[in-house]
Amino acid sequence: MRVRRGALAVLVGALAAFAESPESLVDRGVAAAEIGEYADALRDLEAADRTLPAEHPRRCDLAFGLGLARYGVERFADAVADFTHAIALDESKAEPYGWRGLARLHLHEDAAAAEDFTRCFARDPKMRAVFETFAAEVRANRRPPPTQPSKRSE
């Protein structure tokens, strides 16, 4: 009986260590971002970002997940940077272009957003309906652009 308990304790310890591995943190963080649990997503993804080697193949997923989470908490400039990083790591994926386009719309960077949507749809035409719907909603509900301070003529 003691051998089994000892083996079980080792197994539980290994599972706990795996649960906190950078790869597991990426998986858990991306899943949390996709269901709108942005604080949990950011906690896991930022922890993974500190420990996942720079050349690790999951870096693209990590950058994409960070972008989703930061988009969700309306940190649009940070989201653009994260999606740009994901694109730099893998230009073939459509979704980072679409999400970067949405973030750019929030920032009133409409021309850059249009380029991102074009790239997204070129990579996956099925994304057109999804991102065109999201883009229309963003345009209808986004905050007005910041105003420039008026210059006094002296």
Question: Is residue 118, in this structure, part of any structural domain at all?
Answer: yes
DSSP string, the chain: -HHHHHHHHHHHHHHHHHHTSHHHHHHHHHHHHHTT-HHHHHHHHHHHHHHS-TT-TTHHHHHHHHHHHHHHTT-HHHHHHHHHHHHHH-TT-SHHHHHHHHHHHHTT-HHHHHHHHHHHHHH-TTHHHHHHHHHHHHHHHPPPPPPPPPPPP-
Question: Is residue 60, in this structure, part of any structural domain at all?
Answer: yes
Residue 71 sits in a domain whose CATH number is: 1.25.40.10
pLDDT number for residue 152: 53
Structural domain boundaries enclosing 109: 21-141
pLDDT number for residue 125: 98
Which pTM does this prediction carry? 0.83
Question: Is residue 153, in this structure, part of any structural domain at all?
Answer: no
pLDDT averaged per 10 residues, the chain (length 154): 53 51 93 95 96 94 98 98 98 98 97 98 97 96 76 50
Question: Is residue 113, in this structure, part of any structural domain at all?
Answer: yes
Domains identified in the chain, total number: 1
